[in-house]
Protein backbone atom coordinates (compact mmCIF):
# COMPACT_ATOMS: atom_id res chain seq x y z
CA UNK A 1 0.00 0.00 0.00
CA UNK A 2 2.87 2.38 0.75
CA UNK A 3 4.37 1.79 -2.69
CA UNK A 4 1.04 2.41 -4.39
CA UNK A 5 0.55 5.60 -2.41
CA UNK A 6 4.05 6.83 -3.30
CA UNK A 7 3.42 6.16 -7.00
CA UNK A 8 0.12 8.02 -6.86
CA UNK A 9 1.73 11.03 -5.16
CA UNK A 10 4.59 11.05 -7.67
CA UNK A 11 2.10 10.93 -10.55
CA UNK A 12 0.02 13.73 -9.02
CA UNK A 13 3.13 15.95 -8.78
CA UNK A 14 4.17 14.93 -12.33
CA UNK A 15 7.45 13.47 -11.15
CA UNK A 16 6.79 9.83 -12.03
CA UNK A 17 9.35 8.68 -14.59
CA UNK A 18 11.31 5.60 -15.59
CA UNK A 19 14.45 6.98 -13.97
CA UNK A 20 12.62 7.56 -10.69
CA UNK A 21 11.18 4.03 -10.72
CA UNK A 22 14.64 2.59 -11.46
CA UNK A 23 16.20 4.47 -8.54
CA UNK A 24 13.38 3.34 -6.22
CA UNK A 25 13.77 -0.29 -7.26
CA UNK A 26 17.55 -0.18 -6.82
CA UNK A 27 17.17 1.34 -3.37
CA UNK A 28 14.59 -1.29 -2.42
CA UNK A 29 16.87 -4.06 -3.67
CA UNK A 30 19.80 -2.79 -1.58
CA UNK A 31 17.64 -2.48 1.54
CA UNK A 32 16.11 -5.94 1.03
CA UNK A 33 19.54 -7.49 0.48
CA UNK A 34 20.79 -5.87 3.68
CA UNK A 35 17.84 -7.25 5.68
CA UNK A 36 18.26 -10.73 4.18
CA UNK A 37 21.96 -10.81 5.06
CA UNK A 38 21.08 -9.69 8.59
CA UNK A 39 18.60 -12.57 8.82
CA UNK A 40 21.19 -15.06 7.54
CA UNK A 41 23.82 -13.81 9.99
CA UNK A 42 21.34 -13.81 12.85
CA UNK A 43 20.32 -17.39 12.06
CA UNK A 44 23.93 -18.57 11.95
CA UNK A 45 24.67 -16.78 15.21
CA UNK A 46 21.60 -18.31 16.88
CA UNK A 47 22.56 -21.83 15.78
CA UNK A 48 26.12 -21.44 17.09
CA UNK A 49 24.85 -19.81 20.28
CA UNK A 50 22.43 -22.66 20.94
CA UNK A 51 25.08 -25.23 20.04
CA UNK A 52 27.35 -24.06 22.89
CA UNK A 53 24.40 -23.80 25.34
CA UNK A 54 24.63 -20.03 25.36
CA UNK A 55 21.00 -19.74 26.42
CA UNK A 56 21.84 -21.44 29.72
CA UNK A 57 24.72 -19.02 30.29
CA UNK A 58 22.50 -16.01 29.73
CA UNK A 59 19.74 -17.52 31.88
CA UNK A 60 22.10 -18.14 34.81
CA UNK A 61 23.58 -14.66 34.46
CA UNK A 62 20.30 -12.75 34.25
CA UNK A 63 18.20 -14.86 36.61
CA UNK A 64 20.60 -14.04 39.42
CA UNK A 65 19.99 -10.30 39.21
CA UNK A 66 18.53 -8.67 42.34
CA UNK A 67 14.91 -7.60 42.23
CA UNK A 68 13.43 -10.66 40.53
CA UNK A 69 11.36 -9.94 37.43
CA UNK A 70 11.49 -6.14 37.87
CA UNK A 71 15.28 -6.19 38.20
CA UNK A 72 15.54 -8.38 35.10
CA UNK A 73 13.27 -6.09 33.08
CA UNK A 74 15.11 -2.92 34.11
CA UNK A 75 18.52 -4.44 33.29
CA UNK A 76 17.34 -5.75 29.92
CA UNK A 77 15.73 -2.45 28.90
CA UNK A 78 18.82 -0.44 29.88
CA UNK A 79 20.95 -2.85 27.86
CA UNK A 80 18.64 -2.63 24.82
CA UNK A 81 18.49 1.17 25.06
CA UNK A 82 22.27 1.62 24.93
CA UNK A 83 22.67 -1.13 22.36
CA UNK A 84 20.27 0.78 20.09
CA UNK A 85 22.85 3.58 19.82
CA UNK A 86 24.97 1.30 17.61
CA UNK A 87 22.58 -1.35 16.22
CA UNK A 88 19.36 -0.86 14.32
CA UNK A 89 15.98 -2.41 15.01
CA UNK A 90 16.48 -5.47 12.79
CA UNK A 91 19.83 -6.50 14.26
CA UNK A 92 18.53 -6.26 17.82
CA UNK A 93 15.28 -8.08 16.99
CA UNK A 94 16.91 -11.03 15.23
CA UNK A 95 20.08 -11.43 17.32
CA UNK A 96 19.43 -10.22 20.87
CA UNK A 97 15.76 -11.12 21.41
CA UNK A 98 16.20 -14.88 20.78
CA UNK A 99 18.71 -14.83 23.64
CA UNK A 100 16.37 -13.06 26.06
CA UNK A 101 13.14 -14.89 25.22
CA UNK A 102 13.98 -18.22 26.95
CA UNK A 103 15.16 -16.39 30.07
CA UNK A 104 11.93 -14.38 30.28
CA UNK A 105 9.87 -17.54 29.80
CA UNK A 106 11.82 -19.33 32.56
CA UNK A 107 11.09 -16.43 34.93
CA UNK A 108 7.35 -16.66 34.27
CA UNK A 109 7.05 -13.48 32.17
CA UNK A 110 4.34 -13.27 29.52
CA UNK A 111 6.23 -13.42 26.22
CA UNK A 112 3.64 -11.35 24.34
CA UNK A 113 3.88 -8.54 26.89
CA UNK A 114 7.69 -8.89 26.95
CA UNK A 115 7.88 -8.58 23.18
CA UNK A 116 5.69 -5.46 23.17
CA UNK A 117 7.85 -3.93 25.90
CA UNK A 118 11.08 -4.47 23.98
CA UNK A 119 9.54 -3.20 20.73
CA UNK A 120 8.56 0.03 22.49
CA UNK A 121 12.13 0.33 23.75
CA UNK A 122 13.66 -0.42 20.36
CA UNK A 123 11.64 2.36 18.77
CA UNK A 124 14.12 4.77 20.35
CA UNK A 125 16.80 3.39 18.00
CA UNK A 126 15.19 5.44 15.22
CA UNK A 127 15.51 8.69 17.17
CA UNK A 128 18.84 8.90 18.98
CA UNK A 129 22.32 9.39 17.52
CA UNK A 130 24.54 8.39 15.94
CA UNK A 131 22.65 5.92 13.73
CA UNK A 132 19.03 6.96 14.17
CA UNK A 133 17.23 6.49 10.85
CA UNK A 134 14.70 9.21 11.62
CA UNK A 135 17.54 11.70 12.16
CA UNK A 136 19.01 10.91 8.75
CA UNK A 137 15.59 11.33 7.16
CA UNK A 138 15.15 14.73 8.80
CA UNK A 139 18.65 15.74 7.74
CA UNK A 140 17.92 14.94 4.11
CA UNK A 141 14.54 16.70 4.20
CA UNK A 142 16.03 19.81 5.82
CA UNK A 143 18.68 20.09 3.10
CA UNK A 144 16.03 19.74 0.41
CA UNK A 145 13.84 22.39 2.04
CA UNK A 146 16.78 24.80 2.31
CA UNK A 147 17.74 24.33 -1.35
CA UNK A 148 14.14 24.97 -2.40
CA UNK A 149 14.06 28.13 -0.29
CA UNK A 150 11.32 26.94 2.06
CA UNK A 151 13.41 27.59 5.19
CA UNK A 152 15.64 30.67 5.69
CA UNK A 153 18.79 28.88 6.92
CA UNK A 154 20.20 25.35 6.92
CA UNK A 155 19.50 23.11 9.91
CA UNK A 156 22.51 21.62 11.71
CA UNK A 157 22.73 18.00 12.78
CA UNK A 158 23.12 19.13 16.39
CA UNK A 159 19.76 20.91 16.15
CA UNK A 160 18.13 17.69 14.96
CA UNK A 161 19.76 15.71 17.78
CA UNK A 162 18.58 18.18 20.41
CA UNK A 163 15.08 18.20 18.96
CA UNK A 164 14.88 14.39 19.24
CA UNK A 165 15.59 14.38 23.00
CA UNK A 166 11.98 15.13 24.11
CA UNK A 167 10.67 12.30 21.94
CA UNK A 168 13.21 9.87 23.36
CA UNK A 169 12.23 10.89 26.90
CA UNK A 170 8.55 10.30 26.11
CA UNK A 171 9.40 6.89 24.69
CA UNK A 172 11.27 5.97 27.88
CA UNK A 173 8.27 7.08 29.96
CA UNK A 174 6.13 4.76 27.87
CA UNK A 175 8.56 1.90 28.61
CA UNK A 176 8.21 2.59 32.35
CA UNK A 177 4.41 2.62 32.05
CA UNK A 178 4.41 -0.75 30.27
CA UNK A 179 6.67 -2.24 32.98
CA UNK A 180 4.80 -0.99 36.02
CA UNK A 181 1.30 -1.02 34.52
CA UNK A 182 1.25 -4.22 32.43
CA UNK A 183 -2.53 -3.97 32.00
CA UNK A 184 -1.88 -1.41 29.25
CA UNK A 185 -0.85 -4.39 27.10
CA UNK A 186 -2.45 -7.45 28.66
CA UNK A 187 -5.96 -5.94 28.69
CA UNK A 188 -6.21 -6.78 24.99
CA UNK A 189 -5.11 -10.40 25.47
CA UNK A 190 -7.39 -13.36 26.11
CA UNK A 191 -7.70 -14.04 29.81
CA UNK A 192 -6.38 -17.42 30.88
CA UNK A 193 -8.93 -19.52 32.71
CA UNK A 194 -7.53 -20.45 36.12
CA UNK A 195 -8.98 -23.60 37.68
CA UNK A 196 -8.78 -24.03 41.44
CA UNK A 197 -8.17 -27.73 42.03
CA UNK A 198 -9.42 -27.49 45.61
CA UNK A 199 -12.85 -26.38 44.41
CA UNK A 200 -13.31 -29.07 41.76
CA UNK A 201 -16.25 -31.37 42.61
CA UNK A 202 -16.95 -34.76 41.06
CA UNK A 203 -20.60 -35.86 41.28
CA UNK A 204 -21.04 -39.65 41.12
CA UNK A 205 -24.67 -40.61 40.42
CA UNK A 206 -26.41 -43.31 42.44
CA UNK A 207 -26.36 -46.75 40.79
CA UNK A 208 -30.10 -47.13 41.36
CA UNK A 209 -30.77 -44.37 38.90
CA UNK A 210 -29.57 -46.51 36.01
CA UNK A 211 -31.66 -49.24 34.32
CA UNK A 212 -30.20 -52.46 33.04
CA UNK A 213 -29.04 -52.03 29.44
CA UNK A 214 -30.72 -53.99 26.69
CA UNK A 215 -29.21 -55.40 23.52
CA UNK A 216 -29.65 -53.15 20.50
CA UNK A 217 -31.85 -50.75 22.40
CA UNK A 218 -34.75 -53.30 22.41
CA UNK A 219 -36.76 -54.30 25.43
CA UNK A 220 -35.80 -57.51 27.28
CA UNK A 221 -37.59 -60.62 25.98
CA UNK A 222 -39.75 -62.29 28.67
CA UNK A 223 -38.78 -65.79 29.81
CA UNK A 224 -40.69 -68.72 28.21
CA UNK A 225 -43.54 -70.34 30.08
CA UNK A 226 -42.50 -73.02 32.51
CA UNK A 227 -39.14 -71.44 33.20
CA UNK A 228 -38.09 -69.25 36.03
CA UNK A 229 -36.86 -65.77 35.35
CA UNK A 230 -34.92 -65.72 38.60
CA UNK A 231 -31.12 -65.96 38.36
CA UNK A 232 -29.48 -69.33 38.92
CA UNK A 233 -28.21 -69.97 42.45
CA UNK A 234 -24.56 -69.30 43.02
CA UNK A 235 -22.23 -72.34 43.15
CA UNK A 236 -19.63 -72.49 45.88
CA UNK A 237 -15.98 -73.22 45.17
CA UNK A 238 -16.15 -76.66 46.82
CA UNK A 239 -19.14 -77.74 44.70
CA UNK A 240 -17.41 -76.56 41.55
CA UNK A 241 -14.23 -78.50 42.43
CA UNK A 242 -16.15 -81.66 43.24
CA UNK A 243 -18.13 -81.57 39.99
CA UNK A 244 -14.90 -81.03 38.04
CA UNK A 245 -13.32 -84.13 39.65
CA UNK A 246 -16.39 -86.22 38.90
CA UNK A 247 -16.38 -85.22 35.25
CA UNK A 248 -12.67 -86.09 34.96
CA UNK A 249 -13.22 -89.55 36.51
CA UNK A 250 -16.17 -90.23 34.21
CA UNK A 251 -13.98 -89.47 31.17
Under the banding of pLDDT at 50, 70 and 90, the label for residue 173 is very high
Q: What is the average pLDDT value for the chain, to the nearest integer?
A: 77
Q: Which residues contact 103 (CB under 8 A, 6 or more apart)?
A: 55, 58, 59, 62, 63, 72
| pLDDT tens-digit map of 183-226 | 888 887 766 666 766 776 766 766 555 555 555 545 555 555 55
The string over 91-113, giving b where at least 16 C-beta atoms fall within 10 Å of a residue's C-beta and e elsewhere, is bbbbbbbbbbbebbeeeebbeeb
- Model confidence, pTM: 0.58
Domain ranges within the chain, ordered by starting residue? 1-52, 53-186
| pLDDT tens-digit map of 72-87 | 888 888 888 888 887 7
Confidence check: pLDDT of 246 > 70: yes
155: DSSP letter: P
Measured CA to CA, the distance from residue 23 to residue 4 in angstroms comes to 16
Q: In the chain, what percentage of residues exceed pLDDT 90?
A: 1
Of residues 158 and 205, the one with the higher pLDDT is: 158
Classify burial at 48, counting beta carbons within 10 Å of its beta carbon; exposed 0-12, middle 13-18, buried 19 or more: exposed
Contact at 8 Å (CB) between 125 and 89? yes
Amino acid sequence: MGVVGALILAAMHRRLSIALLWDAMMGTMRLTAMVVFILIGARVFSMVFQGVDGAKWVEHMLSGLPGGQVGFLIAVNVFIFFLAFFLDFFEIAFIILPMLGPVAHAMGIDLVWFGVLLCVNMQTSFMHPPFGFALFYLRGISDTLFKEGRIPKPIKSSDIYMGAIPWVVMQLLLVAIVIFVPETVTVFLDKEVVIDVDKVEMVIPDSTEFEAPTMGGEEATPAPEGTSSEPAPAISDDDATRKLEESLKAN
